[in-house]
Amino acid sequence: MNHFLNSISLHLSIRENTRDLQYARDYQPQSGGVSHLRVMLYGPVGAGKSSFIDSVSNTLRGRMGMETMTGTDQSTKGQSLTKRYKTHRIKKDGRNGYYNFVFNDVMGIEDGTGRGVHVDDIKLAMQGHVKDEYKFNPVSPLTSDDPGYNQSPSPDDKIHVLVCVYSANASEITDSVLHKMRDIREAACDLDIRQLLIVTKVDEACPETQESLRNVYKSKHVKKKMAEFSSKVGIPMRFVLPVKNYSDEISIDPDADTLILCVLRLILDFGNDFLEQCAQNTSTD
């Protein structure tokens, strides 16, 4: 009986995946002034920001690959490997061109001052003022006199969706990191940028999810973690989604794809909502 139910569940997952894959392939920003949706990920070091970008690419392309340098630098006490502000585009396999959404990764948030990404750099990036390949300086944020500062950002340069990333397997959020995350969230709210939170590494969080990703919404531990992050960061629970990034796999997993595509679908819908609001604001000015 369990095998039969699992077969049905797998069939439904594949069907849903096919629908959401097509949605991503056909996606076009619903605004005349924007050629692509820009999504930025932020969160503590090691949360899985870069890995999520790789995972989306793997899911969309149906094969394993690497878009980013993932992980942390163990030689420097777990500091982020992401040092520069970089736009990641995902190429369409067997087709010309790229998907009509891009991801921007940033240096991880660290405890204390003078470590990790500077919150002011993230605020400037949300407004489109940070040029591609700008090298983050944890001690001194970008200023308008720096070469990496974009004086006249276009609508394409600005962030349309902000994604907070946190690990279900992480220890307690420190007050310093939490303060930085809240500061970023408030700045995004002031800009009306849509936000969501993804909880990564759910497969490592408890025996249930380690046994099968289909147990993710049954896991009391994962649900507790999601509720905890929702409360502390200030993002509504309905916009907190679990995900399992690809890490040591050598082939695609339909169950992992289901969670990844669910997040991607919400990101694209949020982006359209934001662009639609921007178009309405422009027409009433």
Which CATH architecture does the domain made up of 1-13+29-63+81-280 adopt?
3-Layer(aba) Sandwich (3.40)
Q: pLDDT, tens digit, for every residue of 216-238?
A: 888 898 999 999 999 999 999 99
Query: Which residue intervals of the chain are DSSP H helices?
Result: 2-26, 49-61, 119-126, 175-190, 207-211, 220-233, 254-284
Asked if the model's pLDDT at residue 2 lies above 60, the reply is no
**Do the Cβ atoms of 200 and 222 come closer than 8 Å?**
no
Mean pLDDT of the chain: 87
3-class secondary structure, 217: coil
Domain boundaries, the chain: 1-13+29-63+81-280
pTM beyond 0.85: yes
Contacts of 134 (CB under 8 A, 6+ apart): 84, 85, 142, 148
Q: pLDDT, tens digit, for every residue of 125-182?
A: 999 999 999 999 999 999 999 999 999 999 999 999 999 999 998 878 899 999 999 9
Lowest mean pLDDT among 18-22, 70-74, 125-129, 219-223: 70-74
Residue predicted with more confidence, 76 or 267:
267
Q: pLDDT, tens digit, for every residue of 191-213?
A: 999 999 999 999 998 888 888 88
